[in-house]
Amino acid sequence: NAGVTQTPKFRVLKTGQSMTLLCAQDMNHEYMYWYRQDPGMGLRLIHYSVGEGTTAKGEVPDGYNVSRLKKQNFLLGLESAAPSQTSVYFCASSWPSRDTDTQYFGPGTRLTVL
Amino acid sequence: QKEVEQDPGPLSVPEGAIVSLNCTYSNSAFQYFMWYRQYSRKGPELLMYTYSSGNKEDGRFTAQVDKSSKYISLFIRDSQPSDSATYLCAMKRVRGAGNKLTFGGGTRVLVKP
């Protein structure tokens, strides 16, 4: 099992450019999440999905869009990148259980917007 | 004001010492409390999970929750250099609800040999 994988690992964009981050999980998890991590801010939820074909806004959704066309994939899009979106992006997935509801995280994508 | 507050550190201790970490929170609706460990340039991984108030022990790790004070703690006994990482507390209101977690900012811990 690869767990949660993210593509790409690093990316540099110019202001106004667009890009898509791909998250894939092979654990058959129902829920998937996109977070951003900035120094001193912890992890902040951007968007999440509770199942194939569903998406919902998190804490900081502005400037991002998501799609969950297949259960194993969750895409995060930036239509017009801004320097404020320079961050490390983490994808996570979970399968709600009675005991832990553990979220499993990917290795992250480091994005710099110039 | 953030819902979950955590001292960013860094917290530097000698090998073998007890590491004490804590978080305070403002929302009394939080029921589930977690500690994640994050090594440099890696994704977080779940370390401890506690429901409501009380203590939970797992090897060298002990998690405590005091809901009356809105305060949670993580203790690491006999700390090792391999414990050097950033520790994030996280909490959740109810089961389901998309499993949304609210994270603290993380405390960086450095265990010196």
DSSP string, B27-54: -TT--EEEEEEE-TTS--EEEEEEESSE
pLDDT at B98 over 70: no
Where does residue B53 rank: exposed (0-12), middle (13-18), buried (19+ CB within 10 A)?
middle
Chain B CB within 8 Å of residue A60 CB: no
Quick: pLDDT tens for B40-75: 999 999 999 888 788 999 999 999 999 999 999 999
Q: For residues A97 and A93, what is the distance between their CA atoms, to the nearest angstrom?
A: 13
Tell me how close the Cα of A29 comes to any Cα of chain B, in angstroms. 12
- Please tell me the predicted confidence (pLDDT) of residue A114: 96
Q: For residues B9 and B104, what is the distance between their CA atoms, to the nearest angstrom?
A: 13
- Please tell me the predicted confidence (pLDDT) of residue A39: 84
The stretch B81-109 carries a mean pLDDT of 87
CA nearest neighbour of A74 among A112, A26, A10:
A26
pLDDT at A28 over 80: yes
Task: Choose from B6, B101, B107 for mutation: most chain A CBs within 10 A.
Answer: B101
> Which amino acid is it at B109?
V
Q: For residues A79 and A19, what is the distance between their CA atoms, to the nearest angstrom?
A: 7
Q: For residues B61 and B59, what is the distance between their CA atoms, to the nearest angstrom?
A: 5
- Please tell me the predicted confidence (pLDDT) of residue B57: 95
Among A42-46, A63-67, A91-95, B46-50, top mean pLDDT goes to: A63-67
Residue from the list B49, B100, B103 with its beta carbon closest to the beta carbon of A100: B49
Task: Return mean pLDDT, chain A.
Answer: 92
Cβ atoms < 10 Å from Cβ of B37: 20
Tell me how close the Cα of B59 comes to any Cα of chain A, in angstroms. 18
Chain B CB within 8 Å of residue A94 CB: yes
Residue of B nearest to A105 (CA): B43
Residue A42 and residue B42: Cβ atoms within 8 Å? no
pLDDT at A99 over 60: no
Helix (H), strand (E) counts: chain B: 0, 11
Residue B104 and residue A42: Cβ atoms within 8 Å? yes
pLDDT at B96 over 70: no
Where does residue B29 rank: exposed (0-12), middle (13-18), buried (19+ CB within 10 A)?
exposed
pLDDT at B95 over 70: no
Task: Choose from A60, A103, A109 for mutation: most chain B CBs within 10 A.
Answer: A103
- Please tell me the predicted confidence (pLDDT) of residue A37: 96
Q: For residues B98 and A64, what is the distance between their CA atoms, to the nearest angstrom?
A: 19
Task: Choose from A4, A36, A43 for mutation: most chain B CBs within 10 A.
Answer: A43
Residue A103 and residue B104: Cβ atoms within 8 Å? no
- Please tell me the predicted confidence (pLDDT) of residue B93: 82
